[in-house]
Amino acid sequence: MKTVRHADYLFANEHECDAYRTAHKMPETTTRQEVARAIATYEKSNYTRGRTVVITQGPEPVIVAVCQPGTQEVDITEYPVAPLSNDEIID
């Protein structure tokens, strides 16, 4: 977590989000939106800039949590993911 305090943007997938919840002993009932909020409001080395947290969840909506600079105010928005057929997926 030493480097997170310097991050303006943080990207994680659903597995990393769930691992953060477990590592920080958050209750199992804690939603990914709540985890995103916790990360967005985590201590910042430069309070003049906010932090944006993006949680991807495969075919589920992307969670974006934006903490306003110098505050604990967080706006959370979810963006739908367009479904792809198996033929469109290149892995």
Residue pLDDT, tens place only, 3-54 = 999 999 999 999 999 999 999 999 999 999 999 999 999 999 998 999 999 9
Helices within 4-84 (DSSP H only): 14-23, 32-40
Alpha carbon distances (Å) from 44 to 38, 55, 72:
12, 19, 11
pTM of this structure: 0.90
Q: Both tokens of residue 2?
A: 């030493």
